[in-house]
C-alpha cells in the first residue's frame, strides 16, 4: 500500500517570477548596443516606468487580444516610431545574422526589396522606422524580422515568390512584428534567465566569502537549499520557454498577419495575388515539414520495434518515453499556427474587418521578374542552390561529390569570392585528404566577402593542428571583435576555443555568456560540452 502523498511546495508561480524580475529590470541602464549591457535601456522620463517594465506590461496586456472586426492598423498611433527595448543596434544586429545564418550579398535584389519595404512603412502612418532587407544563406522558406527592424529572407524565397505583391505580403508580415513591438515579449524570459545566472554567481560568491571567513568548508559549491531555489526558478524558465512564450508567439503571428494585410492594402498591393498565395505557400511548406517529421517519427518507431523485438526492454522504454516527451514539447513549443489555419484566419479577418471592400488591383509581376532574372541576382540564387546541396553532402560525409559541386562556383562567376562556398570548399578538400590544397585555398580568405564565422574557426583549427594554440586564441579574439560580440558569437567562440584545445578560454567565455547573453545560455552550455 502506498503511503499518503505529502503536500509538496510547487515551483515559483508565474507572477512571483515576474515580481523577482522587475527589480533587476528597474535598475538597468546604459547603452543597449554595448556588449556588456545587452539588456540596458536609457532612463525613463520622470514619472514613467522603465522601458523594460512597460514592455512586459504591454505584451502581457496584449494577451487579451484586439478587435478582429476592425483593421488592426487602426490601433497604431501615428508619429515617430520608438525603437524596441530589445534592439541592439542595426550594425550589431547584422553581425548577429552573419554569425548565426550567413548573409548573402545581393544588392540588385535588396535595393528593390527595400523600395517595397519603404512603401509599406509609409502606409503605416509612422515615421523613422528602422531596418532594411537582407538575404540569408538558407535553402528553406525562411524569413524573420528583428527588434532593430531588419528583415531577413532566405535565398529560397527568391526562387519561390512570383510577383511583387507576394514579396510585399512577406515583408508586410515581418514589418508588422516590428511595428507591434512583438520582440519586447522576449524581455520576460530573458530576464528570468539573467536572474537565475546572477543568483547562481551571487550564491557561489557568498559561499566562497563565507569559507574565507572560516564559517564553513572552503568551497563555493551551492548548498542543497540554494540548488533547490535555483531549480524552482529553472522550472519556471522551462515553462516560459516551452509553453508561455510560444503561445504568445502564436498570437503574435496572427496579429502580424492581420496588420500585414492592412499595410498591403493601404500600400496598393493585391490581397488576392499577394497575401493569399503567400500564405498558401507557407501552408504547403508546413505540410512538407510535417511530412518530414512523420518520416522521422516512423524511423524512430522502427528502431523502437527492433529494440523490443531483441529483448532490450529498458532501452526501448527509455526511448519511447523520450520520444513521447519530445512530441509533447514540440506541441507546446509551436510558435506558429500551421499555414492552413493562418489562411483560414486571415480570410475570416478579410470578411469581418473589410466586409470584402478591398479593391482588386492587378498584380505587379513584371517589375519583380525583371529583378530576380537579372544575371547578377539569378546567378547568385542558382549558385546557392548548389552550395546548399554541397553542404548537405558534407554533412552526410560525402566530401568528394561536395567538392565537385563547389569547384566551378569558386573558380569563377558571381560566387567566386563568397565566403560560404569557399569555406565549404576548404572543408571538402581537407576531408578528402588534400590538406595542403585546403590550406592554400584558406589563404585567400581575406578576399572573401562577406566573411563568415566558419572562416575564422577553420583557420583556428589549422593553427591548432600545427601546435600554435596562441595563434588559434588570437583568431578567436579577432572573430569575436569582427562580429561585434554579437549574441550568437558567444557559443561559436566557446566551440572555437574548445576545438582548439583551449578549455580555460572556453570556460571563461561560458561564464560571460551566462551573465550578459542570457538567451544564449543553453547554446553556450552545449558548445562547452561539444553537443
Higher pLDDT, 43 or 431: 431
pLDDT band at 20 (very low <50, low <70, confident <90, very high): very low
Residues 6+ away with beta carbon under 8 Å from 152: 97, 101, 103, 133, 134, 135, 136, 143, 144, 145, 146
Q: Coil, strand, or helix at residue 87? A: coil
The pLDDT, as a whole number, for residue 344 is 86
Q: What does the alpha-carbon distance between residue 337 and residue 249 come to, in Å, rounded to a whole number?
A: 9
Residue 250's closest CA among 334, 143, 170?
334
Residue 129, pLDDT above cutoff 90: yes
pLDDT band at 145 (very low <50, low <70, confident <90, very high): very high
Q: What does the alpha-carbon distance between residue 73 and residue 255 come to, in Å, rounded to a whole number?
A: 10
pTM: 0.73
Residues 6+ away with beta carbon under 8 Å from 30: 37, 40, 41
Most confident of the ranges 45-59, 84-98, 227-241: 84-98
The pLDDT, as a whole number, for residue 350 is 87
Residue 12, pLDDT above cutoff 70: no
Radius of gyration of the chain (CA): 25
The pLDDT, as a whole number, for residue 191 is 55
Q: Write the pLDDT tens digit of every residue in 258-309.
A: 999 999 999 999 989 999 999 999 888 777 767 766 666 666 666 656 655 6
Residues 6+ away with beta carbon under 8 Å from 72: 66, 176, 255, 258, 259, 262, 353
Give, in order, the Cα–Cα distances in Å from 178 to each of 38, 129, 144, 148, 171. 19, 9, 10, 8, 11
Q: What does the alpha-carbon distance between residue 294 and residue 261 come to, in Å, rounded to a whole number?
A: 32
Judge contact between 147 and 174, C-beta under 8 A.
Answer: no
The pLDDT, as a whole number, for residue 448 is 93
Q: Write the pLDDT tens digit of every residue in 331-369.
A: 433 444 566 788 888 888 988 888 767 778 899 999 999
DSSP single-letter state for residue 103: E
Backbone angles phi, psi at 147, to 5 degrees: -60, -25
Judge contact between 156 and 141, C-beta under 8 A.
Answer: yes
pLDDT band at 451 (very low <50, low <70, confident <90, very high): confident
Judge contact between 35 and 516, C-beta under 8 A.
Answer: yes
Residue 195, pLDDT above cutoff 60: no
Three cell numbers at 287?
A: 505540410
Most confident of the ranges 251-255, 284-288, 379-383, 516-520: 379-383
Judge contact between 479 and 453, C-beta under 8 A.
Answer: yes
Helix (H) or strand (E) holding 159: helix 155-160
Higher pLDDT, 519 or 42: 519
What would the mean pLDDT of 88-117 be, rounded to a whole number?
94
What DSSP line would sit under 104-158, residue for residue?
EP-HHHHHHHHHHHHHHHHHHTEE-----EEEES-SSS-EEE-TTS-EEEEHHHH
What DSSP line would sit under 16-71, residue for residue?
HHHHHHHHHHHT--S-TTSGGGTT--PPPPTTSPPHHHHHHHHHHHGGG---TTS-
DSSP single-letter state for residue 218: S
- Bridging pattern class, strands 79-80 and 143-145: unpaired
pLDDT band at 136 (very low <50, low <70, confident <90, very high): very high
Averaged pLDDT score across all residues of the chain:
78
The pLDDT, as a whole number, for residue 410 is 96
The pLDDT, as a whole number, for residue 296 is 67
The dihedral region occupied by 413, where left means phi > 0, alpha psi between -120 and 50, and beta the remainder, is left
What would the mean pLDDT of 491-519 be, rounded to a whole number?
93
Residues 6+ away with beta carbon under 8 Å from 402: 390, 391, 393, 394, 424, 428
**Burial code of 411-434, b = ≥16 C-beta within 10 A, e = fewer?**
eeebbeebbbbbbbbbbbbbbeeb
Residue 455, pLDDT above cutoff 80: yes
DSSP single-letter state for residue 84: P
Q: What does the alpha-carbon distance between residue 385 and residue 156 come to, in Å, rounded to a whole number?
A: 8
Q: Coil, strand, or helix at residue 195? A: helix
Candidate from 33-42, 85-94, 503-512 with smallest mean pLDDT: 33-42
In this structure, the dihedral spanned by the alpha carbons of residues 105, 107, 113 and 115, taken in order and rounded to 10 degrees, is 140
Amino acid at each position: 500500500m502506498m503511503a499518503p502523498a505529502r503536500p509538496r511546495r510547487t515551483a515559483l508561480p508565474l507572477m512571483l517570477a515576474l515580481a523577482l524580475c522587475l527589480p533587476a529590470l528597474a535598475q538597468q541602464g546604459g547603452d543597449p548596443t554595448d556588449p556588456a549591457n545587452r539588456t540596458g535601456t536609457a532612463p525613463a522620463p520622470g514619472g514613467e516606468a522603465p522601458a523594460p517594465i512597460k514592455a512586459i506590461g504591454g505584451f502581457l496586456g496584449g494577451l487579451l487580444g484586439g478587435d478582429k472586426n476592425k483593421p488592426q492598423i487602426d490601433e497604431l498611433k501615428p508619429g515617430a516610431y520608438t525603437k524596441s527595448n530589445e534592439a541592439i543596434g542595426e550594425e550589431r544586429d547584422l553581425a548577429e545574422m552573419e554569425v548565426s545564418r550567413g548573409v548573402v550579398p545581393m544588392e540588385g535584389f535588396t535595393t528593390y526589396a527595400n523600395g517595397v519595404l519603404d512603401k509599406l512603412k509609409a502606409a503605416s502612418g509612422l515615421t523613422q522606422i528602422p531596418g532594411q532587407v537582407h538575404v540569408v544563406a538558407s535553402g528553406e522558406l525562411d524569413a524573420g524580422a528583428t527588434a532593430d527592424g531588419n528583415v531577413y529572407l532566405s535565398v529560397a524565397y527568391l526562387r519561390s515568390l512570383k510577383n511583387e505583391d507576394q514579396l510585399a505580403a512577406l515583408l508586410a508580415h515581418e514589418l508588422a512584428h516590428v511595428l507591434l513591438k512583438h520582440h519586447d515579449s522576449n524581455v520576460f524570459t530573458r530576464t528570468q534567465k539573467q536572474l537565475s545566472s546572477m543568483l547562481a554567481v551571487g550564491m557561489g560568491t557568498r559561499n566562497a566569502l563565507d569559507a574565507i571567513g572560516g564559517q564553513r568548508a572552503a568551497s563555493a559549491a551551492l548548498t542543497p537549499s540554494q540548488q533547490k531555489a535555483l531549480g524552482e526558478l529553472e522550472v519556471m524558465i522551462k515553462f516560459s520557454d516551452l509553453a508561455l512564450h510560444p503561445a504568445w508567439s502564436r498570437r503574435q503571428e496572427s496579429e502580424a498577419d492581420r496588420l500585414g494585410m492592412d499595410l498591403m492594402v493601404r500600400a496598393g498591393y493585391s490581397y488576392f495575388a499577394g497575401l493569399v498565395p503567400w500564405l498558401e505557400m507557407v501552408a504547403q511548406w508546413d505540410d512538407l515539414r510535417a511530412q518530414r517529421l512523420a518520416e522521422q517519427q516512423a524511423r524512430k518507431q522502427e528502431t523502437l520495434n527492433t529494440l523490443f523485438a531483441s529483448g532490450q526492454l529498458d532501452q526501448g522504454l527509455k526511448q519511447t518515453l523520450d520520444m513521447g516527451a519530445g512530441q509533447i514539447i514540440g506541441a507546446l513549443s509551436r510558435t506558429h499556427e500551421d499555414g492552413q489555419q493562418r489562411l483560414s484566419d486571415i480570410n475570416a479577418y478579410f470578411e469581418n474587418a473589410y466586409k470584402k471592400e478591398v479593391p482588386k488591383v492587378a498584380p505587379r509581376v513584371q517589375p519583380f521578374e525583371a529583378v530576380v532574372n537579372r544575371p547578377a541576382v539569378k546567378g547568385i540564387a542558382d549558385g546557392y542552390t548548389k552550395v546548399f546541396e554541397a553542404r548537405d553532402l558534407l554533412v552526410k560525409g560525402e566530401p568528394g561529390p561536395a567538392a565537385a559541386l563547389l569547384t566551378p562556383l569558386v573558380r569563377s562567376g558571381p560566387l567566386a569570392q563568397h565566403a560560404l562556398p569557399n569555406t565549404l570548399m576548404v572543408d571538402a578538400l581537407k576531408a578528402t585528404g588534400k590538406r595542403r590544397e585546403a590550406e592554400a585555398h584558406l589563404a585567400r580568405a581575406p578576399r572573401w566577402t562577406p566573411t563568415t564565422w566558419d572562416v575564422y574557426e577553420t583557420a583556428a583549427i589549422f593553427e591548432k593542428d600545427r601546435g600554435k594554440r596562441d595563434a588559434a586564441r588570437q583568431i578567436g579574439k579577432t572573430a569575436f571583435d569582427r562580429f561585434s560580440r554579437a549574441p550568437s558569437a558567444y557559443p561559436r567562440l566557446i566551440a572555437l576555443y574548445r576545438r582548439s584545445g583551449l578549455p580555460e578560454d572556453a570556460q571563461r567565455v561560458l561564464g560571460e555568456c551566462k551573465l550578459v547573453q542570457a538567451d544564449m545560455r543553453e547554446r553556450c552550455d552545449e558548445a562547452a560540452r561539444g553537443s
